Amino acid sequence: MRKLSADYLFPISQHPVKNGIVIIDDRGMINENVIDPSSLDYSISDIEKYNGFICPGFVNTHCHLELSYLKGKITEHSGLDKFIIELEQLRKGVNEKEKAEAAYNAEQEMMYGGIVVVGDICNSNATFELKNKSRLTFHTFIESFASDPQKADRAFEKALALYNEIGKNSNNQSASITPHAPYSLSKNLFLKIKNFTEEKGNIISIHHQESEEENKFFLSKDGNIKEMHFRFGVEKSDFCNSGSRPLAAIADYIAKNNPVQLVHNTASVDVDIDFAEQNFKNLYWCFCPNANLYILQKLPDFALFYNKKCKITMGTDSLASNKSLSILNELKTIWANAPFIPLHELLTWATLNGAKFLQLNEKFGSIEKGKFPGVLLLENVNVEKMQITRDTSVRILI
Ligand SMILES: [Zn+2]
């Protein structure tokens, strides 16, 4: 049994508690809800007291572990279309051992950075074994794409085979089949995934409005994504020049009543957010700001999402488009660009919201009795202002 305390304790399920105390048993389970020492008329002995903030373990809802071997290999700031083209070229010619080592190092980096749960996108089974052995908890999104309607069956069958494979061999791993992005599937393929998702009650995670080019693709005939389709041999896409904004164009092709996470949202504006909130029952918006800076040097309109009280989650994206897989580094970027967002809110995005979206909140996401959320200490913080700083670091307490 350990009793931990810090300048402020952020249970997330309730407001931060000054000098709050949490009691954890030997298995890592929270023994009772956070104690506010100012409300006690007795004192508790044997407390480990730290400088800084205590919070639950981080939840990374968007990663591509299998792309870890591309760390530092793709040119920065070159735009989404060039990123995808470079990625496709670099995917060839790397041996499996190198890929497996890079994925392992990435998994370790996440663990030592305080991440306890990962929503991970897969196009292959390359990381399945690693995930089985990992101390982290994973939800795997088997990602499917094919803009050519003729290729819908083959793409879906490939995804289904991976889905069945992970179901058979995994300890405790959940999975779903998910569309890649609004512009990269045919109506046929979207509908196959939609039927499957509704039947299984699965969760969906789709890249969304990562760049302005995506809006262009749906609203006009030209743009880099159209060119990219040509390059990959797709002559006509079902959604090119559909005349609607991306999500409006594909909304009927997604399971709207299932939990849906939209990832990136760098080019989302007021009308996009309103449409999504009105049409999807259980919606989450995932930010991966450091990946947006890497590819586009552009960030989502954080203030807009915050003011509209959207449910936000945090992702790192992959090492192909990020220099680290650190949720703390992502939070620092948001804090530096939107310092008016309270730390309690940022930490909610990085913990409980992600756990809820991934349907793992019975165990993770907040410091509450009966959960096993992991316990982190944020050091080098501004206690008076209750803010993180550029120098904040994370230490794993449990
Ligand atoms: Zn991604």
Residues 321-345 have pLDDT tens digits of 999 999 999 999 999 999 999 999 9
Burial of 351 (0-12, 13-18, 19+ CB in 10 A): buried
CA count, 13 A, side-chain hemisphere, 197: 26
Residue 369 lies inside a defined structural domain of this protein: no
Q: Are residues 45 and 71 in the same domain?
A: no
In the chain, how many domains are there? 2
Using an 8 Å Cβ cutoff, are 223 and 217 in contact? Answer: yes
At residue 43, the pLDDT reads 87
Q: Are residues 326 and 226 in the same domain?
A: yes
Cα–ligand 1 centroid distance for 40 (angstroms): 47
Q: Are residues 113 and 86 in the same domain?
A: yes
Residue 370 lies inside a defined structural domain of this protein: no
pLDDT at 172 over 80: no
Cα–ligand 1 centroid distance for 121 (angstroms): 7
At residue 90, the pLDDT reads 85
Residue 7 lies inside a defined structural domain of this protein: yes
Q: What is the pLDDT of residues 11-26, one digit of tens each?
A: 999 999 999 999 999 9
Residue 371 lies inside a defined structural domain of this protein: no
Whichever domain contains 305, its CATH number is 3.20.20.140
* Residue owning tokens 């990562």: 210
Closest CA to 238 of 185, 191, 283, 291: 185
Residue 217 lies inside a defined structural domain of this protein: yes
Cα–ligand 1 centroid distance for 251 (angstroms): 20
Rounded Cα distance between 381 and 358, Å, is 29
Residue 334 lies inside a defined structural domain of this protein: yes
Contacts of residue 213, defined as CB under 8 A and 6 or more positions apart, other chains included, come to 79, 80, 81, 223, 224, 225
The pTM of this model reads 0.97
Cα–ligand 1 centroid distance for 264 (angstroms): 8
Q: Are residues 290 and 382 in the same domain?
A: no
pLDDT at 385 over 80: yes
Share of the chain above pLDDT 90, in %: 85
| End-to-end CA, the chain | 11
Q: Are residues 45 and 114 in the same domain?
A: no
Beta bridge partners of 207: 263
Cα–ligand 1 centroid distance for 208 (angstroms): 10
Q: What is the pLDDT of residues 127-159, one digit of tens each?
A: 999 999 999 999 999 999 999 999 999 999 999
SS3 160: helix
Q: Are residues 220 and 114 in the same domain?
A: yes
Q: Are residues 188 and 65 in the same domain?
A: yes
Cα–ligand 1 centroid distance for 34 (angstroms): 36
SS3 255: coil
Cα–ligand 1 centroid distance for 289 (angstroms): 12
Residues with Cβ within 5 Å of ion ligand 1?
Answer: 317
Cα–ligand 1 centroid distance for 60 (angstroms): 12
Q: Are residues 199 and 288 in the same domain?
A: yes
User: 157 vs 173, which has greater pLDDT?
Assistant: 157
Both structure tokens of 26? 């030997």
pLDDT at 202 over 90: yes
Using an 8 Å Cβ cutoff, are 251 and 279 in contact? Answer: yes
Closest CA to 389 of 27, 40, 52, 17: 52
Cα–ligand 1 centroid distance for 67 (angstroms): 10
Cα–ligand 1 centroid distance for 57 (angstroms): 22
Cα–ligand 1 centroid distance for 320 (angstroms): 9
Q: Are residues 138 and 44 in the same domain?
A: no
pLDDT at 169 over 80: no
CA count, 13 A, side-chain hemisphere, 41: 0
Using an 8 Å Cβ cutoff, are 372 and 56 in contact? Answer: no
Closest CA to 351 of 12, 121, 4: 12
Residue 136 domain boundaries: 58-364
- Residue 86 — very low, low, confident or very high, per pLDDT cuts 50/70/90? confident
Q: What is the pLDDT of residues 20-63, one digit of tens each?
A: 999 999 999 999 999 999 999 898 999 999 999 999 999 999 99
Q: What is the pLDDT of residues 209-230, one digit of tens each?
A: 999 999 999 998 777 887 777 7
Q: Are residues 34 and 74 in the same domain?
A: no
Q: Are residues 119 and 218 in the same domain?
A: yes
Cα–ligand 1 centroid distance for 246 (angstroms): 17
Residue 248 lies inside a defined structural domain of this protein: yes
Residue 372 lies inside a defined structural domain of this protein: no
Cα–ligand 1 centroid distance for 391 (angstroms): 27
Q: Are residues 255 and 166 in the same domain?
A: yes
At residue 327, the pLDDT reads 98
